[in-house]
Structure formats: C-alpha cells, structure tokens
Amino acid sequence: MNTLFDTLTGRIFDIKRCSVHDGSGIRTVVFLKGCFLRCRWCHNPESIDFQPQILFAEDKCTVCGDCVTVCPHECHTVSSGIHSFDRTDCMRCMKCVAACAFGALKESGSLYTIETILALLEKDRGYFAESGGGLTLSGGEPLAQPHFSIALLKAAKERGFHTCIETCGQVDFSFLEEAAHHTDIFLFDCKESDPARHKEYTGVDGLKIQDNLRRLDALVAKIILRCPIIPTYNDCPEHFDFIARFSEELKNVQEIHLMPFHPYASHKNKQLAEPYLMGDLPAPEKEQKQTWRDALQARVSRPVRL
Ligand code: SF4
Ligand code: SF4
Ligand code: SF4
C-alpha cells in the first residue's frame, strides 16, 4: 500500500545495484546529491552540489550541433569542428541532455520517489536474502536530504530490507539519531585527526563529526569506521594513532575499513569543468595499502579491512 512518504522525492545522482563494497552482502547503493564538506580527494565530485549538473564527456561528442539548436541560452557552440560549453547562463533545463543522442551530455541529479527505489529493491530481494545484503544510502551526504533519506530507510526497514547509511558525520545530530531507528549499520567516515588539517582538506575542522560519532555510539548503533588514507595527507603515524585511540574508545565499532586514495575523480572534475585538486598523486601500490592495514591492525582490537 502506498503512503504519503512513498511519493517523497530525493535528488539522486546514481543508483548501483549488486554492489559488494558498501556494507554486508550484495547491495543496492543509492547516491544522494549534496554534501556540506569539500574533500579535496572526493571520489564523486558530482555529489557535492545540491543542484542538478551536466557532465560533458568530450570523447563521446561527435560535434553534431544538436545541443546548440535546443539550448535557449546559447551555452553550447560548435565552431571549426570544435564543441564548446559555457555554463555561465545555464538554467539546468536539460534540453541539451535530451537532445544529445551520443551520450556526451549526462544529467547528474534526477528526482526519484521512495516508491521507485522500493520497486528497485524488490527486484533484488532474493540476492539480499542469500547474501545478507540490502539498501545502502551514500552520496554526497545522505543526511543532507534528511527527510527523504530517513523516510527511505524507514520504508525499506518496514519491508524487511537490511539498511546501511554512509555518512561523513557533518550533520545535525538529530538526523543521525532519527536515522538510527531505521539503520542496521552506519558507515561513518574518519578523515583526519588534526582540526587544522581537517579544515584545510575538507572545509570543516571535524570536531562536530567526532562529537556526533561519540553520541551515535552511545545510542548503541552498529558502526563501521571508514578511513580514507591519502598519501602525503594523512598516511602518518599520528593519524593512525588517532584512529586507534578513537575506535577503541567507542563501544560499537564493528570493523575499520581503510579507503585508499584513487585518482579516478580527475576525469569527472574535467567533465564538470571544475578544477581537480590532487595534482598527479598516484593510487598507492598494493604493498603500500597492506602496510597501512598492518600498521593500524597492530594498534586496534577490531578487524581492519582494505
Ligand atoms: S549534441 Fe552531444 S554529440 Fe552533439 S555536439 Fe552536443 S554534446 Fe556533442
Ligand atoms: S541545460 Fe538547458 S540552459 Fe543549460 S546548457 Fe543545456 S539546454 Fe542550455
Ligand atoms: S564527505 Fe564524501 S561526498 Fe562529501 S566531499 Fe567528502 S568525500 Fe565527497
């Protein structure tokens, strides 16, 4: 039976079925748009802005000119076989996206109802049951769209689905508290221990995040700590010591997951016409990642996974 909540909409930039990286078992991951942080290494730069955006893949563009014809604000131009896209006057009407037959223009951030997502979950109910999987909300920051995310978690739980939410923690605690009623596991980020460096790397000092994590732990919510490890930024003994101290202080951390840096956001920044801030920093080698895992595992009682 449909409820009023089932018709609530959220702005979503991707939905991935059959993921095995974002919680237990096989999962459907719903990526919500909008985040209060600005992590330099963000793997999903299209997730940060709350508004819909257009990704332009130059390598798919055939310079057909159809986007030029439909754009009411002359954002697209084709001249001497070269397509240019000036977003200054773009009103996000998405007419150019609809007109592009080659997939060179892609909208990031469509509206979905809870009903639509529940119908997607139903398709994988069998896989979830066999694998211990379910729904994961990710982003962006899911609780930056709190009413939608909490209603979706609630609706999914009521239908018997296992639920996870990945959060950066920079949200009003009341939203975490409410989400906890309908969430089996929190995937909670722990990015940097030093407040000044946290602010430099993400835009906020991280103290509210730490406080929220302590308060969430006190609610006996199951937590997996997710720690991005970025070479030359936070792959230092002081940060590993902090993760160890903090995780041991918390009662309900089940596991610690290290999330090694990968430069795959660079092409997305290019498609968004936004600067990529990580220069030519490469992904760490397998041996390096194992060294990080071992270094942290030696400091903590909970399992550390890559
Ligand atoms: S419609 Fe698509 S393929 Fe054609 S010029 Fe525009 S972006 Fe390129
Ligand atoms: S979204 Fe609309 S205004 Fe923006 S570039 Fe496309 S057609 Fe033009
Ligand atoms: S918290 Fe996550 S989504 Fe937000 S900017 Fe940082 S990495 Fe990106």
Please identify, among 88, 107, 126, the residue that sits at the C-terminal boundary of a domain: 107
Q: Are residues 179 and 253 in the same domain?
A: yes
Average pLDDT over every residue of 43-49: 96
Please identify, among 107, 125, 150, the residue that sits at the C-terminal boundary of a domain: 107
Which of 86, 80, 101, 79 is CA-nearest to residue 54?
86
Separation of 140 CA from ligand 1 center, angstroms? 28
Q: Is 80 exceeded by the pLDDT of residue 47? A: yes
- Residue 4 — pLDDT band, cuts 50, 70, 90? low
Residues 6+ apart with CB under 8 A from 265: 41, 42, 43, 44, 45, 276, 278
Q: Are 26 and 128 in contact (CB under 8 A)?
A: yes
Average pLDDT over every residue of 121-129: 97
DSSP labels, 3-19: -GGGG-EEEEEEEEEEE
Q: Is 70 exceeded by the pLDDT of residue 156? A: yes
* pTM greater than 0.85: yes
Q: Are residues 90 and 212 in the same domain?
A: no
Q: For residue 96, give the ligand nearest its CA.
A: 2
Q: Are 64 and 173 in contact (CB under 8 A)?
A: no
- Residue 158 — pLDDT band, cuts 50, 70, 90? very high
Q: Are residues 65 and 17 in the same domain?
A: no
Angle of helix 173-180 relative to helix 207-218, nearest 10 degrees?
A: 30
Q: Are residues 69 and 58 in the same domain?
A: yes
CATH number of the domain within which 215 lies: 3.20.20.70
For residue 220, the model assigns a pLDDT of 86
Q: Are 201 and 191 in contact (CB under 8 A)?
A: yes
Q: What does the pLDDT look like over 216-267, one tens digit per residue? A: 999 988 999 999 999 999 999 999 999 999 999 999 999 999 999 999 899 9
For residue 5, the model assigns a pLDDT of 66
- Residue 292 — pLDDT band, cuts 50, 70, 90? very high
Of all protein residues, the one whose alpha carbon is nearest to atom 1 of ligand 1 is 100
Average pLDDT over every residue of 1-29: 87
Q: Are 170 and 63 in contact (CB under 8 A)?
A: no
Which residues' Cβ are closer than 6 Å to ligand 2?
A: 70-71, 73, 75, 90-96
Separation of 16 CA from ligand 3 center, angstroms? 18
Query: Does the beta carbon of 206 sit less than 6 angstroms from any atom of ligand 3?
Result: no
**Number of domains the chain contains:** 2
Q: Are 206 and 191 in contact (CB under 8 A)?
A: yes
Q: Are residues 222 and 290 in the same domain?
A: yes
Calculate the CA 280 to chain-centre distance. Answer: 23
The residue range of the domain holding 21 is 4-50+109-305
State phi, psi for 141 to the nearest 5 degrees.
-115, 110
Q: For residue 102, give the ligand nearest its CA.
A: 1
| DSSP state, residue 49 | S
Q: Is 90 exceeded by the pLDDT of residue 155? A: yes
Q: Are residues 98 and 190 in the same domain?
A: no
For residue 49, the model assigns a pLDDT of 96
Average model confidence (pLDDT) across the chain: 96
Q: What angle do CA 128, 186, 115 make, to 5 degrees?
A: 50
Q: Are residues 62 and 39 in the same domain?
A: no
Residues 6+ apart with CB under 8 A from 42: 35, 48, 265
Q: Are residues 184 and 129 in the same domain?
A: yes
Q: What does the pLDDT look like over 60-71, one tens digit per residue? A: 999 999 999 999
Q: Are residues 148 and 292 in the same domain?
A: yes
Q: Is 80 exceeded by the pLDDT of residue 7? A: no
Q: Are residues 209 and 291 in the same domain?
A: yes
Q: Are residues 98 and 191 in the same domain?
A: no
Q: Are residues 264 and 198 in the same domain?
A: yes
Please identify, among 68, 86, 107, the residue that sits at the C-terminal boundary of a domain: 107
Of all protein residues, the one whose alpha carbon is nearest to atom 7 of ligand 2 is 71
